[in-house]
Amino acid sequence: MNVPAPLIRPARVEDSAAIAVLIDQLGHPGSSAEDVAARLPLIEAAGMDALVAELDGRVVGCLTTSIMPVLHRPRPVGRISMLVVEEGQRGKGIGLALLRAGEAALAARGCAMIEVTSNNTRKDAHRFYEREGYEATSLRFAIHSADH
């Protein structure tokens, strides 16, 4: 069966409701369309990317990036901070298309290394990243501020 390639494009405010659903499916409930609409301009203003995958005019995936200048590397580190594909659309190449687009965007901004953030519980995602050449290299520790 031939699966059509998704259209990968920058996220727009009108995508906010679909992105909020994807964020919920990723395991982060509570983001409304209004919350997403308010955050999208902040991502763009910070020089980061929010990309969506569209199939038949419908948003079915989302990826966000960030760039971190660090003292211990000569060039910035790029991070894919979120990659999610709609539950019914997984395994069809949409995540890979988003991943490649995110990698290209970070490389174009001079990042020599790309990291992916993935929750410890998302074992299928970990296998996906490993198949694409990513290695588990470090742990992150987090604490929530009182007003997060």
- Pair 111, 49: CB distance under 8 Å: no
pLDDT value at 30 more than 70: yes
Strand boundaries in the chain, DSSP class E: 7-10, 50-55, 58-68, 77-85, 113-116
| pLDDT grade for 36, boundaries at 50, 70 and 90 | very high
Mean pLDDT in residue range 72-77: 94
Mean pLDDT in residue range 110-134: 92
Mean pLDDT in residue range 55-68: 96
Superfamily the domain 7-131 falls into: Gcn5-related N-acetyltransferase (GNAT) (3.40.630.30)
Mean pLDDT in residue range 8-37: 95
| pLDDT grade for 148, boundaries at 50, 70 and 90 | low
| pLDDT grade for 144, boundaries at 50, 70 and 90 | confident
pLDDT value at 121 more than 60: yes
Q: Where are the domains of the chain?
A: 7-131
